[in-house]
Amino acid sequence: MRKLSLNKLLLSCFISGISFLNLTAQEGQVNISENDKITKLLELKSEMSKDNEIGDRYKIQLFYGNNGEANEVIKDYRSKFEYPSLIAYEAPNYKVWVGNFRNRLEADRALLKIKESFPSAFIPKPRRK
């Protein structure tokens, strides 16, 4: 019994001693210097991302032909789907392109939905820029 109370006494003295110590954490200062070129590159990347000029992107082609029919196809498409669409001119024909998919899997998933309304739709090979 006496040994147990001696252990309690030592433990309470140890805890009391720790609480009275003046504990301080290390303090430091960090200076970060960034090259101006990094800032310019980040701005350029964000600008290119807005214009969809980065990397290989997949599009779905719905139509290839004259301007009047291309306008009808894109109007019909926009009434049914939400993916971005555009008409691209490649002399002497117009193409209706849909989407700006990051990978082939995303494009394939969208193509399955789109083919229900536009059975001739397909995914052309992306161009490298």
Domains and CATH numbers, the chain: 56-117 (3.30.70)
| Residue 97 in this model has a pLDDT that exceeds 60 | yes
| Residue 37 in this model has a pLDDT that exceeds 60 | yes
| Residue 1 in this model has a pLDDT that exceeds 80 | no
- Residues 6 or more apart in contact with residue 108 via CB below 8 angstroms: 123
- Residues 6 or more apart in contact with residue 15 via CB below 8 angstroms: none
Torsion angle defined by CA atoms of residues 113, 115, 117 and 118, in that order, rounded to the nearest 10 degrees: 140
Phi-psi region of 23 (alpha: psi -120 to 50; beta: other; left: phi over 0): beta
Residue 100 structure tokens: 């700006």
Mean pLDDT of 64-73: 95
Whole-structure pTM value: 0.57
What pLDDT score does 48 carry? 73
CA–CA distance, 19 with 10 (Å, rounded to integer):
14
**Inter-CA distances, 36 with 33, 39, 45, Å:** 9, 5, 14
* Residue 56 pLDDT level (bands cut at 50, 70, 90): low
